[in-house]
Amino acid sequence: MAGIRVAIVGASGYSGEELVRLLLAHPQVEITCVTSRQYAGQPLGKVFPRYMEAPLTFSAPSIDEIAERAEVAFLALPHGVAAEFAVPLLARGVRVIDISADFRLRDTAVYERYYGAAHPAPELLREAVYGLPERYREALRQARLVACAGCYPTSI
């Protein structure tokens, strides 16, 4: 299969598993890396039986491995943790699509008020493109860092 080589970091959580489901069916995507600290070394199909036929095995999250195996990394991680992966992956030339809240808000004070901690990578906030194609379609085409909309905007 040829296509965009994709990693799903945090593939064993709810959002990660949904990404696996969607991307396995996508004709222009090849999932090359799925990570999980909890399930490292286990086949995807053992953890999620509906993916028994998928030739994927969970690996521990490693920046080097992700950068070697993927052009795009989806970060299905908790806020605060996602930035820890985004910074080095971007430095290695991997495009990042962040599903957490780390890059949705451009104002560090607002982030701190809602999430109770200083923003972990404020230098990237201006670069992040909000993942709403109806509004930012052209910017998204060139973006290195996409901040996905949260559950409320997505559901609407």
Q: Which of 147, 156, 4 minimizes the C-alpha distance to 82?
A: 147
Task: Using DSSP bridges, classify how beta strands 29-35 and 58-59 pair: parallel, antiparallel or unpaired.
Answer: parallel
Catalytic site includes residue 151: yes
Q: Which of 66, 95, 81, 48 minimizes the C-alpha distance to 8?
A: 66
Q: Which of 88, 91, 151, 154 is catalytic?
A: 151
Residue with tokens 């993942």: 131
106: which DSSP letter? Answer: S
Both tokens assigned to 153:
């905007």
Residues facing 74 on adjacent strands:
8, 97
Contact (Cβ atoms closer than 8 angstroms) between residue 151 and residue 132: no
Residues facing 5 on adjacent strands:
30
Residues assigned a catalytic role: 151
